[in-house]
């Protein structure tokens, strides 16, 4: 079992690409196989500086062990496509000799005329194959003159090509829809489809996981394998991950990348856990699991045929579960990386503040919004708070009683809890009518963490000042 993750260094890895990498990694590891990283940088114009390093960083943070790749090459290297150009040209010329490909000398002007004719007929552009009819003499003449060329795959125009897929079974692709695709561009770089086939074969890749939207393209891959008389890999096509707006995820559209999420305070293990469930489900219906548990329970046949939709609220739920698993010490070390408020309070006070929000926190950067009320001097209950404070005649009694209870106590969480319980007994209230008036009167908000902890952190002087108002 050998799988490969082959991203393009055209930007940070968005979550749809990472979902594919997760499936490829756990499939290899389930069968004690190898996970290979290959960098597909044939699109040099869109290459982004530093993107390769981010790919490595992403996989490392996710806990993936790369068995072979640019940083740990084995016998199948090099693992960066721009370093394999001689190989692609060799195999492209071999196809020309076999009559499975041909030189195309068409200019951009000629191709534009073809596009316009297709547009007038409301048909997608397809190359008309005119250069496949050139004589051997004309081809040699053009080559001798140094006329620029590409090499195109010669497609059959009748019948169909069969694609066998683990998820979708046997798919028949009508050959008439297959364009004579370019294999080698005029600059010597291969196209994505051609390089994939050459590299997957030479790197002994046994299983290829790719998006369902490329099913038709797989017919072209199979025709290349057959032309070379090579064994085809096992294909697993997976349905798309859609964005929250229902459209395809895309780095160009600014959809979230893994590093965006990581820098916002989403834990890598939570991201991997959540993404693995977009288009796949375990037989035991367990939702929260480690990478090791995912590998042990992964069944590629349980990958769904239906598209799944990215939901940041669901991701936040997963992240919250992982935050709760942290010890208080681990949590404080982690969350302080995201706590950006200027705070002159003692370290013990800050730790207490961060800890009272542990049960509420969904992602790291959220800690700044949650704690802002403690660090700003303003006390401005909103209209909803003020309306609630007038909603029942017993509310002023609750506030007045609490003010009396804390008048002469030592300022500790234990004593504040006792004061709240005393109000409960003396005024005869509980639940919403007990806690909410005290919270609004002391903090200015309706909801928050443990009430006694909140009051303690606001501080004795500030609380009494607010109650006096």
Q: Token pair 């997608």 is at which residue?
A: 124
Would you report the helix, strand and coil content of the chain in percent, each value rounded to 5?
50, 10, 40
pLDDT for residue 339 is more than 70:
yes
Strand stretches in 157-202, DSSP E: 160-165, 169-174, 182-184
Q: Is 127 exposed, middle or buried (0-12, 13-18, 19+ CB in 10 A)?
A: buried
Percent of the chain with pLDDT over 70: 99
Q: Decide: 12 and 272 in contact? Cβ < 8 Å.
A: no
The fold of the 2-81+241-309 domain, in CATH, is Rossmann fold (3.40.50)
Helices (H), 31-107: 51-61, 85-97
Quick one: pLDDT at residue 86?
94
Q: Check if CATH label 1.20.120.530 holds for domain 383-468.
A: no
Q: Give the separation between CA 349 and CA 339, rounded to whole angstroms.
A: 14
251 as an active site residue: the answer is yes
Q: Give the separation between CA 244 and CA 19, rounded to whole angstroms.
A: 16
Quick one: pLDDT at residue 9?
86
Question: What would the pLDDT profile of 308-336 be if each residue is shown by its tens digit?
Answer: 999 999 999 999 999 999 999 999 999 99
- Please tell me what DSSP assigns to residue 142: H
- Ranges 42-46, 134-138, 294-298, 299-303: which has the least confidence: 42-46
Catalytically annotated residue among 29, 220, 251, 403: 251
Prediction pTM value: 0.89
Question: What would the pLDDT profile of 191-216 be if each residue is shown by its tens digit?
Answer: 999 999 999 999 999 999 999 998 98
Looking only at the bridges linking them, the beta strands covering 34-37 and 2-5 are parallel
Q: Check if CATH label 3.40.50.300 holds for domain 84-238.
A: no
Q: Give the separation between CA 332 and CA 337, rounded to whole angstroms.
A: 9
Percent of the chain with pLDDT over 90: 80
- Please tell me what DSSP assigns to residue 257: B
- pLDDT-derived band at 469 (thresholds 50, 70, 90) equals confident
Question: What would the pLDDT profile of 113-162 be if each residue is shown by its tens digit?
Answer: 999 998 988 888 889 999 999 999 999 999 999 999 999 999 998 999 99
How far from 353 is each of 346, 350, 373, CA to CA, in Å? 11, 5, 11
Number of alpha helices (DSSP H) and beta strands (DSSP E) in the chain: 20, 11
Average pLDDT, whole number, for the chain? 93
Token pair of 418, please?
């006792």
4's enclosing H/E stretch is strand 2-5
- pLDDT-derived band at 247 (thresholds 50, 70, 90) equals confident
- pLDDT-derived band at 255 (thresholds 50, 70, 90) equals low
């Amino acid at each position: 079992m050998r799988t490969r993750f082959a991203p393009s260094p055209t930007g940070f890895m968005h979550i749809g690409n990472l979902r594919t990498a997760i499936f490829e990694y756990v499939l290899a590891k389930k069968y004690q196989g190898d996970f290979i990283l290959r960098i597909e940088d044939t699109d040099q114009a869109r290459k982004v500086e530093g993107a390769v390093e981010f790919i490595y960083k992403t996989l490392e943070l996710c806990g993936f062990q790369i068995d072979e790749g640019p940083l740990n090459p084995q016998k199948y290297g090099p693992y960066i496509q721009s370093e394999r150009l001689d190989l692609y040209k060799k195999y492209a010329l071999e196809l020309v000799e076999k009559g499975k490909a041909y030189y195309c000398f068409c200019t951009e002007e000629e191709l534009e005329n073809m596009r316009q004719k297709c547009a007038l007929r409301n048909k997608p552009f397809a190359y008309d194959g005119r250069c496949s009819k050139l004589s051997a003499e004309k081809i040699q003449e053009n080559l001798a003159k140094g006329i620029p060329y590409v090499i195109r795959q010669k497609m059959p125009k009748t019948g169909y090509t069969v694609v066998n897929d683990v998820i979708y079974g046997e798919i028949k692709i009508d050959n008439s829809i297959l364009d004579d695709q370019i294999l080698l561009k005029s600059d010597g770089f291969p196209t994505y489809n051609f390089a994939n086939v050459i590299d997957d074969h030479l790197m002994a890749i046994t299983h290829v996981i790719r998006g369902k939207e490329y099913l038709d393209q797989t017919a072209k891959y199979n025709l290349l394998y057959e032309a070379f008389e090579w064994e085809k890999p096992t294909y697993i096509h997976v349905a798309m991950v859609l964005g929250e707006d229902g459209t395809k995820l895309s780095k160009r559209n600014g959809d979230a990348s893994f590093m965006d999420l990581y820098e916002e305070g989403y834990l890598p293990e939570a991201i991997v856990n959540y993404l693995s469930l977009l288009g796949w489900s375990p037989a035991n219906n367990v939702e929260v699991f480690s990478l090791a548990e995912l590998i042990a329970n992964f069944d590629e046949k349980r990958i769904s045929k239906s598209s799944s939709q990215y939901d940041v609220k669901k991701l936040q739920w997963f992240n919250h579960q992982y935050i709760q698993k942290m010890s208080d010490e681990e949590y404080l070390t982690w969350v302080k990386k995201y706590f950006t408020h200027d705070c002159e309070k003692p370290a013990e006070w800050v730790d207490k503040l961060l800890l009272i929000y542990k049960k509420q926190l969904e992602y790291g950067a959220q800690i700044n919004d949650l704690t802002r009320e403690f660090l700003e001097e303003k006390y401005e209950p909103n209209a909803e708070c003020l309306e609630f404070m007038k909603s029942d005649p017993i509310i002023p009694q609750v506030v007045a009683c609490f003010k009396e209870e804390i008048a002469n106590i030592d300022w500790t969480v234990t004593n504040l809890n006792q004061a709240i319980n005393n109000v409960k007994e003396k005024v005869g209230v509980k639940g919403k009518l007990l806690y909410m008036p005290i919270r609004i009167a002391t903090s200015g908000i309706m909801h928050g963490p443990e009430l006694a902890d909140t009051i303690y952190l606001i501080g004795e002087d500030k609380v009494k000042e607010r109650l006096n108002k």
